[in-house]
Amino acid sequence: MAGPRSPQRALLDDATVLSLAEFCRAGDVSVEIVVEMVEQGVIEPQGRQRADWRFSGAALRQARRALRLRRDLGLNWPGVALSLSLLEELTELRRRHRALLRRLDL
């Protein structure tokens, strides 16, 4: 494992591309659950057939967040899907708001 001396290879999450099998391995999650998440609109792969499915690093993050919300808050899948899209919007709004406040010296 690289120590603190050698720079870590910085993988921009958006640039990562994972197949279904790689996604399951990386997320430590079964194919059934991934398929469920895709059907519920929690994550969206590129490609039409399962064999062609390609997931981004951002999708992996979303999937993990979805599983945590289900586990910790007992949300059902539609609740998870809605929560995730609202949280994404909220995060972006909060960021822009902070930037605007800084700009107006508030």
Least spacing, CB of residue 29 vs other proteins, in Å: 9
* Residue number, 14 or 44, with CB nearest to other proteins: 14
* Residue number, 52 or 92, with CB nearest to other proteins: 92
Q: Which has the closest alpha carbon to 87: 61, 105, 106?
A: 61
Q: Is residue 10 at the binding interface for other proteins, with CB under 8 A as the rule?
A: yes
Ranges within 35-94 binding other proteins (CB under 8 A)? 57-58, 61, 64-65, 68-69, 71-74, 83, 87, 91-92, 94
Least spacing, CB of residue 48 vs other proteins, in Å: 24
Q: Is the separation of the CB atoms in 53 and 20 below 8 Å? A: yes
Least spacing, CB of residue 89 vs other proteins, in Å: 12
Place of tokens 């494992």: 1
Q: From the CA atom positions of the chain, what is the Rg in Å?
A: 17
> Residue 15: what are its φ and ψ, rounded to 5°?
-85, -15
